[in-house]
């Protein structure tokens, strides 16, 4: 996680430039932030807890600065733990993305040598180790290189030195990019932070380090050997998101969904037909994703079984590392990701590629790490998703997977029709009347400590996703289950009035899930039925019209809306829930 931004050049506005860059990267972490600039021969640092939002920086003019937005891993959310961290001399400042897994042993060593630590972070060992390496006669770049080689884990560090007027960055696992323009050099944790300053970008590879001063010099960390520079000209226009008339990005993005689905239905047929051919020749295809994207993967497995009569495997990306021993050159991994930066996906994809397997990326972010590493790419085209809770990228993934499963049996046009119907039904679900109904339900449910969501088949994926959406923005414990699993244990938790959302589309799961609803109701549960058809067992009925297999898309909408209204009713920020980040780049 963590957003990183650095600037060195001919502008005296380093703090303002870094601040502006960090704002674009805040989706990577927003519990605290900090900026360091060179002021004379010293370094001045400003750090604060909380979102960078409308904050103002009061640092002196400078042409060299680095900054960081944090998502805490080691050490609580405090000003002391916010980056950048300084060495004992105060002339070196460092920020970091990742986890230095062996930090404890390095810290004991440095404490014994008299270094003073001010924070509880793993990061701080890095700056003191660099200082120690310099005391032992190494130049600044060599001290950084040697320090970086000692770290285990996936890390990126950025270090500035007010004596040598340099910024040095090194990476292994975590992304880093460098950009150049007439006003100087920029450094960021991903290209989206940099493209408004320059389109000439170097994407650093693992085991590379870069020195920025009057020029740019690139090295291999492990050997120290100089590397040629290869700038890529990116012509991406990163869409700026705007809330428009909506009070939050989450509700704006829920309202974007009909347009997103329509766009996929109307313009994706060719690329989806191509991808279907790739799946047909693969020997073993796996969908992988994390969180919401994993739920889309799971829905995809059911859709492929039902429509394409094809077996696809799925795994949570973070577990795929332990399931991939059987991958071969004929295997195909299809990674689903909104950000394209999730380390839990990047890591297994790297290993799969080493084994010669093919990789397809279905991502929303152009130029992201996963997008760049894939052999074949499909962009979701959902537009920027700013709310941490994913909504439109989820339905976009479902739309693509639905079309893909139909494309496998050469019936892409059937899927296109269903998707257009689904887009129409979502528009109906977003009517004022329906919104009011869900707002009232949120008022009724907001005091509950537990909610359950159940479904079978594709609706099992919906139940998991509904539970995730509700819990992450409302902080109400919500558990999603396959309908048949309840009686195997969890039904013990149902008490009088426990809300339970039952997803009951008109498919092969309809009758069985209504029986499960009866079992819950018999134990006092309050049933909220989401279905095309009212049933006696429902205490509340939310009608979602039948759109065949595309019902997997429409059924999630009431749950997204309810999650949003629960957050609003509880006076919480639905766009930036506590403890989360939009892009998850640590393991
Ligand atoms: C939940 C949510 C997360 C992400 C997950 C993967 O609303 O957004 O569960 O789905 O962190 O992120 P991406 O899709 O960026 O790989």
In this structure, the residue with its CA closest to atom 9 of ligand 1 is: 291
Rounded distance from Cα 394 to ligand 1 centre (Å): 9
Task: Please state the rounded mean pLDDT for residues 453-463.
Answer: 98
Per-residue confidence (pLDDT) for residue 31, from 0 to 100:
84
User: Model's pTM, two decimal places?
Assistant: 0.85
Residue 563 Cβ inside 6 Å of ligand 1? The answer reads: no
- Quote the CA–CA distance of 158 and 167 in Å, as a whole number: 7
Taking the alpha carbons at both ends of the chain, their separation in whole angstroms is: 9
For residue 123, CA distances in Å to 106, 151, 234, 390, 391 come to 11, 10, 32, 30, 33
pLDDT band at 582 (very low <50, low <70, confident <90, very high): confident
Catalytic option among 2, 23, 199, 469: 2
Answer whether 25's CB lies under 8 Å from 66's CB: no
Q: Is the peptide bond before 84 cis (omega within 30 degrees of 0)?
A: yes
Specify burial of residue 80 (Cβ count, 10 A radius: 0-12, 13-18, 19+).
Answer: middle
State both tokens at 174. Answer: 């975590």
- The per-residue pLDDT for range 376-398, each reduced to its tens digit, is 999 999 988 989 999 999 999 99
pLDDT of residue 152: 94
CA distances from 526 to 312, 406, 441, 499, 517 (A): 36, 37, 12, 5, 9
Distance CA 48, CA 56 (A): 11
Atom nearest to 388 CA in ligand 1: 8
- The pair of three-digit structure tokens given for residue 9, joined into one six-digit string: 């050049």
Exposed e or buried b per residue across 223-254, where buried means at least 16 C-beta atoms within 10 angstroms of its C-beta: eeeeeeeeeeebeeebeeeeeeeeebbbbbbb
> Mapping DSSP to helix (H, G, I), strand (E, B) and coil, where does residue 360 land?
strand
Cα dihedral sign for 316, 390, 71, 570?
Answer: negative
Do 43 and 160 form a contact (C-beta atoms < 8 A)?
Answer: yes
Which residue matches tokens 């558990």? Answer: 479
CA 218 to chain centre: 29
Q: Which of 23-32, 102-111, 264-273, 351-360 has the lowest mean pLDDT?
A: 23-32
Which ligand 1 atom minimizes the distance to the CA of 344? 16
Give dist(CA 501, CA 326) in Å, integer: 38
Structure tokens at 209: 């380090």
Fold of 3-233: 3.60.20
**Segment (H or E) for 263:** helix 249-267
Check pLDDT > 90 for residue 478. yes
Task: State which of 1, 288, 290, 585 you would mutate to test the pocket of ligand 1, scoring each by most atoms of that ligand within 8 A of its C-beta.
Answer: 290
Per-residue pLDDT of 48-65, as tens digits, reads 998 887 778 889 999 999
pLDDT at 102 over 70: yes
Mutate to test the pocket of ligand 1, among 584, 585, 586, 587 (most ligand atoms within 8 A of CB): 584
Q: Render pLDDT for 180-189 as a digit per residue (tens, 0 to 9).
A: 999 999 999 8
CA count, 13 A, side-chain hemisphere, 82: 23
Contact 446, 566 (CB under 8 A): yes
What is the whole-number distance in angstroms between the Cα of residue 390 and the centre of ligand 1? Answer: 6
Which residue, among 356, 350, 360, has the nearest Cα to 321 in the 3D structure?
A: 350
| Residue 253 confidence (pLDDT) above 80 | yes
Written as six digits, the tokens of 184 are 């100087």
84 pLDDT more than 80: yes
Contact 361, 370 (CB under 8 A): yes
Residue in 118, 147, 128 with CA at minimum distance from that of residue 89: 128
Measured from the CA of 394, which atom of ligand 1 is nearest?
10
Spatial separation of the C-alpha atoms in residues 232 and 467, rounded to whole Å:
42
Determine how many CB atoms are found less than 10 A away from the CB of residue 571. 7
Cβ pair 315, 272 in contact under 8 A:
no
CATH class label, 443-575 = alpha beta
Report the pLDDT value the prediction gives residue 462, as an integer from 0 to 100.
98
Fold match, 3-233 / 242-430: no
Task: Round to whole Å and give the CA distance between 108 and 103.
Answer: 9
Per the document, the length of the chain is 587
Q: Where are the chain's structural domains? A: 3-233, 242-430, 443-575
Atom of ligand 1 nearest to the CA of 345: 16
Res 1: pLDDT: 63
* pLDDT over 70, % of the chain: 98
CA distance 473 to 535: 29
pLDDT digits 0-9 by tens, 568-580: 999 999 999 988 8
CA 324 – CA 335 distance, rounded (Å): 14
| Ligand 1 pocket member 585 (CB < 6 A) | no
DSSP code for 13: B
- Computed on alpha carbons and rounded to an integer, the radius of gyration of the chain in Å comes to 25
Q: How far apart are CA 289 and CA 357, in angstroms?
A: 17
How far is the centre of ligand 1, averaged over its atoms, from the C-alpha of 231 (Å)? 30
Counting ligand 1 atoms within 8 A of each CB, the residue from 71, 250, 293, 396 with the most, and so the one to mutate, is 293
The pLDDT of residue 238 = 64
pLDDT band at 78 (very low <50, low <70, confident <90, very high): very high
CB 124 within 8 A of CB 185: no
Ligand 1 contact via 81 beta carbon (within 6 Å)? no
Q: Is 342 in the pocket of ligand 1 (CB under 6 A)?
A: yes
Mean pLDDT, all residues of the chain: 94
The verdict on the CB of residue 468 being under 6 Å from ligand 1 is yes
- Whole-number Å distance, alpha carbon 292 to ligand 1 midpoint, is 5
Name the CATH superfamily housing domain 242-430: Glucose-6-phosphate isomerase like protein; domain 1 (3.40.50.10490)
Give the model's pLDDT for residue 242: 74
Residue 119 phi/psi, 5° resolution?
-125, 175
Band of the pLDDT at 237, cuts 50, 70, 90?
Answer: low
Is 70 exceeded by the pLDDT of residue 503?
yes
Q: Which two tokens stand for residue 451?
A: 């909610």
- For residue 209, what pLDDT band results from cuts at 50, 70 and 90? very high
CB 457 within 8 A of CB 514: no
Atom of ligand 1 nearest to the CA of 293: 10
Nearest CA among 414, 374, 434 for reference residue 557: 434
420 CA from centroid of ligand 1 (Å): 25
Mean pLDDT of 546-563: 98
* pLDDT value at residue 30: 79
What order of strands is seen across the sheet that includes strand 92-98? 85-86, 92-98, 155-161, 166-172, 208-212, 216-220, 226-227
CA of 262 to the centre of ligand 1 (A): 22
Q: Lowest-pLDDT range, 284-288, 344-348, 363-367, 370-374?
A: 363-367
The best mutation among 29, 292, 370, 380 to test binding of ligand 1, ranked by most ligand atoms within 8 Å of the C-beta, falls on 292
Cis peptide before 179 (omega within 30 of 0): no
Is 364:338 a contact under the CB 8 Å cutoff?
Answer: yes
- Residue 192 — pLDDT band, cuts 50, 70, 90? confident
pLDDT of residue 241: 65
Question: Which has the higher per-residue pLDDT, 442 or 190?
Answer: 442
Integer Cα distance of 332 and 360 in angstroms: 7
CA of 473 relative to ligand 1 center, distance in Å: 13
> What SS3 class is residue 47?
strand
Q: Which residue has the higher pLDDT, 448 or 53?
A: 448
Burial label for 40, CB within 10 Å (0-12, 13-18, 19+), is exposed
Establish whether residue 472 lines the binding site of ligand 1, counting it when its CB lies within 6 angstroms of any ligand atom: yes
Tell me if residue 2 is catalytic.
yes
Give the pLDDT mean for 146-167: 95
The pLDDT of 223-241, averaged and rounded, is: 82
User: What are 508-542's pLDDT values in tens digits?
Assistant: 999 999 999 999 999 999 999 999 999 999 999 99
Tokens of 452: 């359950």
Asked if 209 contacts 166 with a C-beta cutoff of 8 angstroms, the reply is: no
Band the pLDDT of 324: cuts 50, 70, 90.
confident
88 catalytic residue (yes or no): no
Q: Is the confidence at residue 239, as pLDDT, over 70?
A: no
Beta pairing partners, 203: 177
Could you tell me if the CB of 368 is within 6 A of ligand 1? no
In the numeric block, the tokens 């119907």 are attached to: 421
**What pLDDT is attached to residue 236?**
67
């Amino acid at each position: 996680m963590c957003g990183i931004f650095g600037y060195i050049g001919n502008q005296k506005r380093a703090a303002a430039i870094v601040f502006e860059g960090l704002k674009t990267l805040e989706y990577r972490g927003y519990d605290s932030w900090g900026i360091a600039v060179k002021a004379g021969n010293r370094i001045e640092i400003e750090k604060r807890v909380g979102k960078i939002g409308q904050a103002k920086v009061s640092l002196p003019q400078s042409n060299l600065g680095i900054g960081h937005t944090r998502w805490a891993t080691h050490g609580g959310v405090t000003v002391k733990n916010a980056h950048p961290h300084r060495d004992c001399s105060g002339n070196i400042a460092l920020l970091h993305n990742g986890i230095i897994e062996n930090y404890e042993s390095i810290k004991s060593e440095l404490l014994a040598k008299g270094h003073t630590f001010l924070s509880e972070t793993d990061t701080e060992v890095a700056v003191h180790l660099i200082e120690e390496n310099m005391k032992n006669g190494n130049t600044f770049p060599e001290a950084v290189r040697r320090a970086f080689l000692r770290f285990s884990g996936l890390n990126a560090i950025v270090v500035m030195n007010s004596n040598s007027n340099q910024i040095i960055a090194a990476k292994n696992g975590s992304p880093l990019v460098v950009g150049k323009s007439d006003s100087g050099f920029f450094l960021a944790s991903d290209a989206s932070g940099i493209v408004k300053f320059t389109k000439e970008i170097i994407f650093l590879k693992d085991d590379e380090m870069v020195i920025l001063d009057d020029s740019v010099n690139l090295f291999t960390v492990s050997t120290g050997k100089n590397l040629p520079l290869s700038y890529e000209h990116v012509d991406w226009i990163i869409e700026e998101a705007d809330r428009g008339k909506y009070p939050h990005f989450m509700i704006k993005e829920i309202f974007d969904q009909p347009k997103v689905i329509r766009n996929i239905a109307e313009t994706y047929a060719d690329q989806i037909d191509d991808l279907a051919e790739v799946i047909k020749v693969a020997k073993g295809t796996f969908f992988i994703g994390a969180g919401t994207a994993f739920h889309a993967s799971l829905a995809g497995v059911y859709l492929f079984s039902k429509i394409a009569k094809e077996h696809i495997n799925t795994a949570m990306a973070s577990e795929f590392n332990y399931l991939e021993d059987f991958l071969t050159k004929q295997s195909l991994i299809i990674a689903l990701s909104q950000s394209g930066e999730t380390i839990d996906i990047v890591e297994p994809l790297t290993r799969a590629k080493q084994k010669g397997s093919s990789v397809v990326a279905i991502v929303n972010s152009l130029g992201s790490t996963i997008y760049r590493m894939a052999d074949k790419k499909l962009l979701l085209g959902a537009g920027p998703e700013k709310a941490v809770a994913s909504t439109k990228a989820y339905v976009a993934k479902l739309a693509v997977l639905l079309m893909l499963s139909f494309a496998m049996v050469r019936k892409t046009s059937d899927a296109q029709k269903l998707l257009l119907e689904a887009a129409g039904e979502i528009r109906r679900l977003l009517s004022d009347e329906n919104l009011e109904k869900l707002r009232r339900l949120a008022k009724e449910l907001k005091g509950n400590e537990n909610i359950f969501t159940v479904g079978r088949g594709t609706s099992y994926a919906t139940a998991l996703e509904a539970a995730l959406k509700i819990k992450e923005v409302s902080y109400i414990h919500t558990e999603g289950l396959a309908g048949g699993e309840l009686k195997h244990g969890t039904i013990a938790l149902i008490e009088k009035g426990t809300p339970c959302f039952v997803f009951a589309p008109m498919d092969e799961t309809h009758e069985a899930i209504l029986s499960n609803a009866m079992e819950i109701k018999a134990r006092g549960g309050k049933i909220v039925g989401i279905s095309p058809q009212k049933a006696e067992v429902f205490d509340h009925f939310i009608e979602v019209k039948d759109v065949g297999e595309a019902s997997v898309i429409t059924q999630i909408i009431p749950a997204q809306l309810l999650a949003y209204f629960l957050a609003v009713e509880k006076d919480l920020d639905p766009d930036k829930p506590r403890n989360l980040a939009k892009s998850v780049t640590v393991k």
